[in-house]
Amino acid sequence: MEEKLRFALQAFGDIHKVATQTHTFDIEAVRRDFPLIMREAQRTPPLSYLDNAASTQKPQAVIDALSDFYSQDYANIHRGVHYLSQRATDLYDQSRETVRRFLNARDAAECIFLRGATEGVNLVASSYARQRLFKPGANIVITTMEHHADIVPWQLVMEGTGAELRTVPLDGRGVLDEDAFEKLVDENTVIVGLCYVSNVLGTVNPAERLIAAAHAKGVPVLLDAAQAAPHVALDVQKLGCDFLVLSGHKIYGPTGIGVLYGRRELLETMPPWQGGGDMIMHVSFSGTTYRGIPERFEAGTPHIAGAMGIAAAMDYIRNIGIETIAAHEHQLLEYANAAVADIPQLRVIGTAPGKAGVLSFIIEGVHPHDIGTFLDADGIAIRAGHHCAEPLMKYLGLPGTARASLGVYNTREEIDRFATSLKKIVRFFL
């Protein structure tokens, strides 16, 4: 099974050779890696899946990693002396090492398996931030473009503390006001919550620069990389972030699994936030002693197969090359912008110079939900609504947007169909 985990990309064959030998991008080879994409492409009308910011489809390599573990290697980890348990434990530990490499963390113990990015933010809010919020003037700084998962956890732990939640504004393009950021972060700031890539606007924030500015005032930063991970190379040592969260399902991996990275020096000061099996050293009725990191934050039986799946997804991305993926998506985004530019009633929301593959838009006089419904009739899957960023929508003065978001398997032909359908919508409604 160790060989299977290490080389779980056997179904990846063609594109692996392309990526490592010729450095070109064979989109048809990539699409063949995704069973659902290939199946749905055969229907009428064929599916164009442009909802990748919500969740991505899964390559065969990830599906095989899950299936192989359940069918050939399954047992609970860390608790058994028998062969299967030890083998499952080894595979789980190897998956954590794959995460470490993906993030370029110093130590695999700094990488904690959780249910997703949301749980990671909640852990940091409860275990790190809350105990520091009772000092006079305490505040937490986030941005106006944050996902609800980087707003609500802070609000929960701030209740009853008197602490203040501060928000960094942005301009009409969706670019953060860095001067305002530096003014809002002060000596009483407990932590900064910052999205690397906006799930609504596609804006790629200057994370390294903002983290350095916060550190200059002695303030740690949690970087929400849920939207960045499939598009941007992540190097926690270069970024300098103190915490980072990501979700497996955003990077072509399973649901219900994600990662919290934290600097060892900080994680070791943090108390457990959940109690149960595997996170303890000794338990008695008079008290309990806890294990070190990462086990201290992984109470109970984890999503063991999910760890295999997220590791396979990270290997899949690594074998194509994140730069290759980003270049492909950037070309598609530019193509999409050009394709909708001649629709006068359509306005793109989020025009920052640096963007990931997200195209949020409105059509004057047409509700975003109606746009989504009409596109679905043409086989085009997008997202419509506030995208779990309701405060941002209020800031922009919008009830919501329609959002097309790109992935590794999307094509120019799909963008052409998307633009044609949008023009049909305009003719129908207006």
In this model, does residue 62 exceed pLDDT 70? yes
pLDDT value for 246: 98
Radius of gyration, CA atoms only, the chain: 22
Given 111, 195, 241, 388, the catalytic residue: 388
Looking only at Cα atoms, what is the longest distance across the chain?
Answer: 73
329's tokens = 């998506």
51 to 58, 329, 359, 406: CA distances (angstroms): 13, 14, 10, 7
For every residue of 257-320, DSSP letters joined together read -EEEEE-HHHHTTSPPSS--TTSEEEEETTEEEE--TTGGG--SS--HHHHHHHHHHHHHHHHH
**What single letter denotes the amino acid at residue 394?**
K
For 170-180, what is each residue's pLDDT tens digit?
999 999 999 99
CA distance 30 to 363: 32
| CB of 403 closer than 8 Å to CB of 372 | no
The kind and range of the H/E element at 361 are strand 358-363
For 358-412, what is each residue's pLDDT tens digit?
999 999 999 999 999 999 999 999 999 999 999 999 999 999 999 999 999 999 9
For 256-304, what is each residue's pLDDT tens digit?
999 999 999 999 999 999 999 888 889 999 999 998 999 999 999 999 9
pLDDT value for 430: 74
Kind of pairing, strands 48-49 and 380-381? parallel
Does 313 reside within a domain? yes
Does 159 reside within a domain? yes
In this model, does residue 77 exceed pLDDT 60? yes
Q: How far apart are the first and last CA of the chain?
A: 59
Cβ count within 10 A of residue 331: 14
pLDDT value for 348: 98
Helix (H, G, I), strand (E, B) or coil at 138: coil
CA distance 98 to 317: 12
Helix (H, G, I), strand (E, B) or coil at 139: strand
Does 428 reside within a domain? no
Q: Which of 72-86, 166-180, 354-368 has the lowest mean pLDDT?
A: 72-86
388 counts as catalytic:
yes
134's tokens = 């009772």
CA distance 179 to 209: 12
| CB of 256 closer than 8 Å to CB of 118 | no
How many domains does the chain fold into? 1
Residue 43: exposure state from Cβ atoms within 10 A (0-12, 13-18, ≥19): exposed
In this model, does residue 217 exceed pLDDT 80? yes
Does 53 reside within a domain? no
Does 301 reside within a domain? yes
Share of the chain above pLDDT 70, in %: 95
CA distance 267 to 257: 20
CA-closest candidate to residue 252, choices 204, 322, 199, 198: 322
pTM of the model: 0.92
In this model, does residue 33 exceed pLDDT 90? yes
For 99-129, what is each residue's pLDDT tens digit?
999 999 999 999 999 999 999 999 999 999 9
For every residue of 67-98, DSSP letters joined together read HHIIIII---SSS--SHHHHHHHHHHHHHHHH
CA distance 74 to 89: 10
pLDDT value for 328: 97
Does 364 reside within a domain? no
Kind of pairing, strands 243-247 and 358-363? unpaired
In this model, does residue 66 exceed pLDDT 90? yes
Does 5 reside within a domain? no
Average pLDDT over residues 337-354: 96
CA-closest candidate to residue 8, choices 324, 322, 407, 313: 313
Residue 413: exposure state from Cβ atoms within 10 A (0-12, 13-18, ≥19): exposed
In this model, does residue 23 exceed pLDDT 70? no
106 to 242, 265, 267, 375: CA distances (angstroms): 12, 12, 14, 45
Burial 342-357 (b: 16+ CB within 10 A, else e): eeeebebbbbbeebbb
| CB of 430 closer than 8 Å to CB of 345 | yes
CATH number of the domain enclosing 96: 3.40.640.10
Average pLDDT over residues 339-347: 96
CA distance 155 to 132: 14
In this model, does residue 10 exceed pLDDT 50? no
Average pLDDT over residues 240-267: 98
In this model, does residue 6 exceed pLDDT 60? no
pLDDT-derived band at 22, boundaries 50, 70, 90: very low
Cβ count within 10 A of residue 255: 16
Average pLDDT over residues 24-29: 91
Does 352 reside within a domain? no
Cβ count within 10 A of residue 161: 16
Average pLDDT over residues 214-240: 98
192's tokens = 């900064």
In this model, does residue 255 exceed pLDDT 50? yes
Q: Which domain holds residue 175?
A: 83-317
